[in-house]
Structure 1
């Protein structure tokens, strides 16, 4: 069944590529290898399925987006595999000459998150003084008092202004910097992830899972 779905995927990519004239990027879990080095541990991958995948990418004119950092995207116990890929066509390559793909940490999944960057480090930077709502606020009981205080018996525009001011002050006094706390946790997970490259112990795996 898996093999049939793969063949259907290759047909779909070929069909889309025939009429694709614009910039095109293809990212996701292909559940396939292009080379035997894309798997570490376990049974050897099928040369037939690897050829099918490679032929599809070659015939559709897709180009693998350069990788930065870790290349394996899936792991379980002592087996590591590269199943997730990022490709682009020539048009995308010419208009995004500095783009790179990064396989980030696993977010409650066996697969790493794929992030394609343009090379512009300022992209997505938060502007100074910009208000940002954090979904984590909603799990705090005291946050509902902040909402009630800001909007009760107030018009929408005035309530919005009051909410931004009061929520910002409440976050500062009771929660602290969520991005800072998040970065600290991610840094720990990155450290565990790095340590697991040399020591794939069950203890490190459990600790990583607990932090998520």
Structure 2
């Protein structure tokens, strides 16, 4: 929903919501830009620090809370950026307010006890995007990261056979076939491309004889796509060992 910045039009909207609430006996969620805030703590502004502005904010937030109570709506709260709107001004002229929220009635909360709201960082808009999650916010699990297809895979001669072998595994749906392919491709990516890295053009990491600087093998592009952080760690380890006078590292096997 969207509430107008004009106070008279907001009054009309809340009259409609009040009428709906009186006969609403099903789960009800109202979310969007309410152009109001429930507490002066939900507004951050260096311009409105005088007594008149503070009293005006108190009256406005009190009226908003009275409307929530009349409609029997509760705030779902939020995770992420708390102040969802900015006037995009800098310094002393900047104002930020929590104008966006999700409200629900008791029936909705009982139906979705884990329901929650996630506010995302602002980008091009002056408002933060808002997500309402009925199953709650799951903690980040690196094992469940989204599958990413590496464009360099199609340049490898074995990739076609990898796809064909995974696709022939009996499954009950297209979704399961895609899951199998993602699992097989990720495993192959980690094992095969790591071998390609370790078998670099020069066959070793370390200082070449008669050279002042460590000579590193040419790293295939496909490996750099796979794991730049591991590559960085290996290079730093190599440089440290050479700076201490260590011998060149010979590849095992």
Which bin holds the TM-score, normalised by the shorter protein? 0.5 to 0.7
Higher strand share: 1
Higher relative contact order (CA 8 A, sep 6+): 1
Counterpart of 1:66 in structure 2 is: 77
> Do structure 1's residue 95 and structure 2's residue 107 form an aligned pair?
no
Give the TM-score, by structure 1 length. Answer: 0.54
Counterpart of 1:86 in structure 2 is: 102
Which secondary structure state, in structure 1, belongs to the residue aligned with residue 82 of structure 2?
coil
Which secondary structure state, in structure 2, belongs to the residue aligned with residue 105 of structure 1?
coil
Counterpart of 1:119 in structure 2 is: 136
Higher helix share: 1
> Do structure 1's residue 5 and structure 2's residue 9 form an aligned pair?
yes
Gaps of 5+ in 1: 129-212
Q: Please, which moves more after superposition, 22-31 or 72-81? A: 72-81
Kept after mapping to 1: 8 A contact 2:43/2:95: yes
> Do structure 1's residue 46 and structure 2's residue 57 form an aligned pair?
yes
Aligned equivalents of 2:103, 2:9: Cα separation in 1: 19
Deviation for aligned residue 1:79 = 1.4
Kept after mapping to 2: 8 A contact 1:100/1:116: yes
Aligned equivalents of 2:57, 2:13: Cα separation in 1: 17
Judged with a 3 Å threshold, the aligned counterparts in structure 2 of structure 1 residues 21 and 107 are, in CA distance, closer, same or farther, namely farther
Kept after mapping to 2: 8 A contact 1:10/1:53: no
Which secondary structure state, in structure 1, belongs to the residue aligned with residue 129 of structure 2?
strand
Deviation for aligned residue 1:50 = 1.8
Gaps of 5+ in 2: 148-253
| Alignment match of 1:20 (pick from 14, 19, 24) | 24
Counterpart of 1:57 in structure 2 is: 68
> Do structure 1's residue 104 and structure 2's residue 120 form an aligned pair?
yes
Give the TM-score, by structure 2 length. Answer: 0.46
Provide the aligned C-alpha RMSD in A: 2.7
Judged with a 3 Å threshold, the aligned counterparts in structure 2 of structure 1 residues 71 and 127 are, in CA distance, closer, same or farther, namely closer
Aligned equivalents of 1:111, 1:60: Cα separation in 2: 25
Asked which structure has the greater CA Rg, the reply is 2
Judged with a 3 Å threshold, the aligned counterparts in structure 2 of structure 1 residues 4 and 126 are, in CA distance, closer, same or farther, namely same
Kept after mapping to 2: 8 A contact 1:74/1:80: yes
Deviation for aligned residue 1:111 = 0.4
